[in-house]
Structure 1
């Protein structure tokens, strides 16, 4: 029997007044997390930074907790506190470094910082001095990304220092995991194995969303998927196994007819090759619908000829002209004249236009589209309310 799903509306834009709507399928999100958890014997957490990739910590974390997720990763202490507010018993790691003024927050909240430099380790040790119970921390070691983290030699030296407090979790981050054939993957796995041996008995984590699909990641203890939970494709060389979570739609404001030879939009970058029916929709780059996805008149079109598309009345329709701050135009000439009308919605990504396909048309990745979503949308959260 199919579970009854209820719509949960946030305090966002009134649906009668909004130019667009976001539908977030929390059941699909949970199904994606479970699929990732089944791929590996390691424990599976969830990355919920950037307000759960734009979908809302307050909505995402409780359903993941209900599904069995017990470990979450945030970028900032402020985000970690919001996770704790809705999942007080969750284990929450903060990824983006440590600053001394945040120490009282860690003392009071049980957030766990991920330390990634000798400076941060020294600072953490100094601030913990005199405490009977030392606060826990995780250690980030850079095995090939040249971003945050101790280098491998520093990590090995720290492991050998008998006077040093040891972390409760050892992590590194894969730089090329979405490309499974890339040689850097193996190099990072080997370096991390060496570090793991040096930190014997300490929990270890290497697998992000694509990393979970690497057999070598099964040797470690904790996975930390991000974008795949939210429906993004984890790998570049295989069809996306994840269910779509987010559907973005915009209202059609007006339908115009342009005459062959006329131009469309700012810069007159599109000249009509036929009489053209144009649906002007209430969405633009102020809403996170990126200007680079325009049908013409942006630098990306010199490299990738096709711009973005919408889906309406059962068919895909191309963006025409430039995306502007509040409006985007679509060529609907190939639809029946009575197929759409003002007030109807056009899908920008969702079940009919994959998130990552929409992103590629804008020269970017699904992460950026999700985390750029603006606050003018009406949001609907769909959830059965069941944990199984």
Structure 2
């Protein structure tokens, strides 16, 4: 990331207090007795693993989920006393490293269970692990019959500490999806004989699906970072990140001329165009560009919404600022491309993707700072 704001094409502001506030909001939605963890994989969805983990710990979060052991090691270095689960499971030959790092693998198949059991037997110590069931998503996890078989083999499960039983929702963002209830019923049926063990099902969407899905531990991700968990409801989370890109040049483009690569869009009036220093190398998806056939994304400068015009290039975009007063935009001005006035989910819709991809894909060329975000503009 760029160490100097004056040398960067844009700046990324991250509001750690807003992340903590989102965690507290989610925790408050859970049924009594359900603990709230935090999923901070992929550099805490682009907000910075260690700083985000430390702020959440200060807010009261003690349990964290990451995707990979390397991410877990970052959390452990920042929070020696935290509970850290590795969702990606047990990579072959990595048991010693996970145990040494005090990381808890989520065991997703019989081979992983066997390897972890053998390691614990060899060390004569019952290290903790979680077991994941596949209840209908068909990614990682044991099918119910495999899980039952594993649980019946006391020589396996008796050699380590089962810290958690868990599964993952496939369609939680759609509260009406029949698969949600099917997964819930499958999970209950498979784990009911072991209900003395902690259970977890709710990701961000699961928190909003209600208490049936909460069990003992929720592990929200996208909602912590201001993302939209449910497709069919308003987003109640606080925005936590703002991307502002620098205006490099203003130019006047006569009616009938095109902008950028491929001449994708023809201006229909004499236009004032701002060339802005952020592109797909900075996480602004190319698909969010516009053409004569479809609108693209937008930015905000002052209290003015300014549409993207033409293709998104690697290092820059063009914005139509014709309707912005001259005193509100100039060389060196900053345009908000994501933040309180430009929701990641809205911008993602233009790119035919999701806010997860926008947040985790923000480039490393921004000048990064930690501060409170401004309130949304009234337009």
Give the TM-score taking structure 2 as reference length. Answer: 0.94
- Runs of at least 4 residues off by over 6 Å: none
Please name the residue that 1:320 is paired with: 309
Structure having greater relative contact order (Cα 8 Å, sep ≥ 6): 1
* Distance across 2 between alignment mates of 1:101 and 1:159: 23
* Distance across 2 between alignment mates of 1:137 and 1:207: 19
Q: Is the contact between residue 159 and residue 198 of structure 1 (CA under 8 Å) also seen in structure 2?
A: no
Deviations, residues 130-165 of structure 1 (Å, cap 9, x unaligned): 322121110010001000000011112222333331
* Distance across 2 between alignment mates of 1:122 and 1:160: 13
Shift of 1:351: 0.7
* Aligned pairs for 1:1-388 within 5 A: 12-40=2-30, 41=32, 42-165=34-157, 167-217=162-212, 220-296=215-291, 305-382=294-371
* Distance across 1 between alignment mates of 2:38 and 2:260: 42
Shift of 1:218: 5.2
Q: Is the contact between residue 189 and residue 216 of structure 1 (CA under 8 Å) also seen in structure 2?
A: no
| SS of alignment partner, residue 125 of structure 1 | helix
Give the TM-score taking structure 1 as reference length. Answer: 0.92
Give the RMSD, CA atoms, in angstroms. 1.5
| SS of alignment partner, residue 243 of structure 1 | coil
Unaligned runs of 5+ in 1: 1-10
Deviations, residues 227-249 of structure 1 (Å, cap 9, x unaligned): 10000011111110100000111
Deviations, residues 195-221 of structure 1 (Å, cap 9, x unaligned): 221223111000000100112445510
* Distance across 1 between alignment mates of 2:163 and 2:59: 24
Please name the residue that 1:3 is paired with: none
Unaligned runs of 5+ in 2: 374-379
| SS of alignment partner, residue 325 of structure 1 | coil
* Distance across 2 between alignment mates of 1:172 and 1:265: 47
| SS of alignment partner, residue 243 of structure 2 | strand
* Distance across 2 between alignment mates of 1:81 and 1:91: 12
| SS of alignment partner, residue 79 of structure 1 | helix
Shift of 1:121: 1.0
| SS of alignment partner, residue 11 of structure 2 | strand
* Distance across 2 between alignment mates of 1:312 and 1:109: 46
Q: Is the contact between residue 250 and residue 275 of structure 2 (CA under 8 Å) also seen in structure 1?
A: yes
| SS of alignment partner, residue 343 of structure 1 | coil
| SS of alignment partner, residue 163 of structure 1 | helix
Q: Is the contact between residue 18 and residue 377 of structure 1 (CA under 8 Å) also seen in structure 2?
A: yes
